[in-house]
């Protein structure tokens, strides 16, 4: 390329008006309304009730109710893909909102039945665990006694361990 051609390109480039820089953070258009009716009768009423009580955005309430429902149902069914592979019925949800928009308060109310069920199961476990430990200790003691009593006769020891006698 000749020097004259380069000068011509430089002169042409100087005439081009460059676009001013765009801001990194642009103003976003308003979000669409959360499709609360798509949650069905039960979940939409729950989301609306939480919204009325906490005064959080309806989208946050709807997502928390949907997450709680998913948590409650994922142990009872799987999704069968078109390839006939079964996968867990689960969702991964993230709430993006500023501090103070009541995300935790909404989750607390949406997950209240789950927390109640956990507390009930913990109480049952605590009550039954001591019985289990005592039964295990008794079984270990009986097993040790059987081994000591029958240690010279292998057949008698195997029978005693299998039958508990």
Domain holding 70, by residue range, is: 34-106
Mean pLDDT of the chain: 89
Using DSSP's 3-state secondary structure scheme, residue 34 falls into coil
Res. 60: pLDDT tops 90: yes
User: What percent of the chain stands above pLDDT 90?
Assistant: 57
89, 58: one domain:
yes
Domains held by the chain: number: 2
65, 91: one domain:
yes
> Which pTM was predicted?
0.65
pLDDT, tens digit (0-9, with 9 covering 90-100), for 9-41: 877 776 777 778 888 888 888 888 999 999 999
DSSP string, 57-106: -HHHHHHHHHHHHHHHHTTT-EEEPTTS-EEE----------TTS-HHHH
Domain-located, residue 89:
yes
Determine the pLDDT at residue 165.
Answer: 64
Domain-located, residue 72:
yes
39, 96: one domain:
yes
Domain-located, residue 112:
no
Domain-located, residue 5:
no
Domain-located, residue 154:
yes
Domain-located, residue 28:
no
Q: Cα dist. 47→64, 65, 70, 107 in Å?
A: 8, 6, 14, 11
Lowest model confidence (mean pLDDT) among 3-7, 69-73, 80-84: 3-7
Res. 96: pLDDT tops 70: yes
Quote the tokens at residue 111: 């997950």
| Partners of residue 76 on adjacent β-strands | none
Contact 124, 130 (CB under 8 A): no
Q: Bigger pLDDT: 23 or 129?
A: 129
45, 80: one domain:
yes
Domain-located, residue 115:
no
Torsion of the alpha carbons at 150, 155, 161 and 165, rounded to the nearest 10: -70
């Amino acid at each position: 390329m000749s020097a004259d051609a380069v000068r011509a390109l430089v002169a042409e480039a100087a005439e081009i008006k460059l676009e001013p820089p765009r801001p990194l953070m642009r103003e976003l258009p308003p979000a669409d309304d959360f499709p609360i009716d798509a949650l069905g009768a039960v979940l939409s009423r729950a989301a609306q009730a939480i919204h009325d009580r906490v005064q959080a955005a309806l989208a946050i309430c709807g997502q928390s109710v949907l997450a709680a429902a998913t948590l409650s149902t994922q142990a009872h069914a799987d999704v069968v893909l078109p390839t006939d592979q079964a996968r867990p019925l689960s969702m991964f949800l993230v709430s993006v909102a500023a501090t103070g928009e009541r995300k935790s308060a909404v989750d607390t109310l949406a997950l209240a039945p789950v927390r109640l069920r956990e507390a009930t199961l913990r109480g049952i476990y605590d009550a039954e665990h001591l019985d289990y430990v005592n039964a295990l200790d008794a079984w270990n003691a009986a097993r040790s006694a059987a081994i000591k009593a029958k240690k010279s006769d292998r057949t008698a020891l195997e029978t005693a361990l299998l039958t508990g006698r």
